[in-house]
C-alpha cells in the first residue's frame, strides 16, 4: 500500500516537474500569448471608448434636425435635409443612414425614413427602408411590420399585406398593437373576399382583447363580414 502511495507521489512530482520544465521552456511564447490577449482586450476597449462612442455622438447630432422635421410632418425635409438651412447638421435621414447606418441613430433613421416614404406615397421606397430596420425594443418592430403591410396594401399586394399583419399580431400579444394588426388583417381579408377569415380576425379582437380601442366596433364589422 505504502509502495503504491509512494509511486503515485513520485508520478505527481514527475508530472509537476515536467509542467515546470514546459513553462520554463516556453515562457516567452506563453508571455507572448498573454500580451496578445491583453492587446486585443485593450483594443476593443479603445475602439469602444475612442471610436464608437464619439461616432454615436456625431450620429445623434446629425439626426437631430431631421427628426425635428419628421416630428413636424415635413417628410421631404426629414429625408433630404433643408438645403437653405445654415445648420451643418441639416443633412436629412438618408445621409445619416449613409454615414452612420450602424449606429443607434442610423438604425432609427431607417425606421423613420420608411415612415416618411409611406406618408409620401412612395411605397417601394418605404418597404426598402422598413426592411432594413431591425429594432430591438418592444414597440417599433411591431409597428414596422404593420407598416410593411400598409405599403403592400397600397400597391395592391393584399395577400402579402395580410402576412405582415398576422406576423405583427403574433410578435407581441398586447392590447394595443395585437388587436390593431388583427383588425387590419380582417379588413384586408374582406378586400380579398375571404369573409370567413375576416370574421375570424374580428372575433379574435372581440374575444381576446375586450380592453382594446377596437372592441366597441367589432360587432358591426363581424356582421358586415358575415353578411357579404
C-alpha closest to that of 150 among 191, 209, 210: 191
Q: What domains lie within the chain, and their CATH numbers?
A: 30-134 (1.25.40), 157-228 (1.25.40)
Provide the whole-model pTM.
0.74
Burial of 197 by CB count in 10 Å (0-12 exposed, 13-18 middle, 19+ buried)? middle
What's the pLDDT score for residue 35? Answer: 46
pLDDT at position 61 is 86
What is the reported pLDDT for 201?
96
Assigned C-alpha cell, 133: 430596420
| Tens place of pLDDT per residue across the chain (228 aa) | 444 444 444 444 444 444 445 445 555 554 454 445 444 444 444 444 434 466 688 888 888 888 899 999 999 999 998 765 555 656 899 999 999 988 898 999 999 999 999 999 999 999 999 999 998 888 999 999 999 999 999 999 999 999 999 999 999 999 999 999 999 999 999 999 999 999 999 999 999 999 999 899 999 999 999 997
pLDDT for 49 equals 47
pLDDT at res. 161: 96
- What does the alpha-carbon distance between residue 188 and residue 105 come to, in Å, rounded to a whole number? 33
Q: Is the dihedral of CA 98, 100, 101, 102 positive or negative?
A: positive
Question: Is 183 within 8 Å of 201 (Cβ atoms)?
Answer: yes
CA–CA distance from 21 to each of 9, 18, 31, 72, 89 (Å)? 18, 5, 15, 73, 63
Q: Which three cell numbers stand for residue 116?
A: 416618411
pLDDT at res. 224? 92
| pLDDT at residue 88 in the model | 62
Residue 222's contacts (CB-CB under 8 Å, 6 or more residues apart) are 199, 202, 203, 206
Cell of 198: 375576416
| Among the listed residues 173, 174, 106, the one whose alpha carbon sits nearest the alpha carbon of residue 134 | 106
Amino acid at each position: 500500500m505504502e509502495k503504491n502511495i509512494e509511486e503515485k507521489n513520485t508520478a505527481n512530482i514527475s508530472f509537476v516537474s515536467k509542467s515546470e520544465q514546459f513553462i520554463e521552456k516556453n515562457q516567452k511564447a506563453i508571455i507572448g500569448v498573454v500580451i496578445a490577449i491583453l492587446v486585443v482586450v485593450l483594443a476593443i476597449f479603445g475602439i469602444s471608448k475612442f471610436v464608437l462612442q464619439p461616432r454615436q455622438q456625431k450620429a445623434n447630432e446629425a439626426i437631430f434636425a431631421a427628426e425635428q422635421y419628421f416630428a413636424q410632418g415635413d417628410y421631404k425635409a426629414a429625408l433630404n435635409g433643408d438645403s437653405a438651412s445654415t445648420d451643418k447638421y441639416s443633412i436629412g435621414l438618408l445621409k445619416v443612414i449613409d454615414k452612420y447606418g450602424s449606429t443607434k441613430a442610423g438604425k432609427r433613421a431607417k425606421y423613420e425614413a420608411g415612415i416618411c416614404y409611406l406618408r409620401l406615397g412612395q411605397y417601394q421606397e418605404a418597404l426598402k427602408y422598413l426592411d432594413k430596420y431591425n429594432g430591438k425594443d418592444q414597440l417599433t418592430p411591431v409597428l414596422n411590420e404593420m407598416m410593411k403591410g400598409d405599403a403592400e396594401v397600397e400597391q395592391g399586394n393584399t395577400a402579402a399585406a395580410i402576412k405582415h399583419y398576422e406576423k405583427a399580431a403574433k410578435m407581441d400579444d398586447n392590447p394595443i398593437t395585437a388587436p390593431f394588426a388583427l383588425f387590419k388583417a380582417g379588413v384586408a381579408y374582406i378586400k380579398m373576399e375571404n369573409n370567413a377569415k375576416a370574421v375570424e380576425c374580428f372575433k379574435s379582437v372581440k374575444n381576446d382583447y375586450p380592453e382594446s380601442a377596437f372592441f366597441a366596433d367589432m360587432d358591426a364589422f363581424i356582421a358586415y363580414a358575415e353578411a357579404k
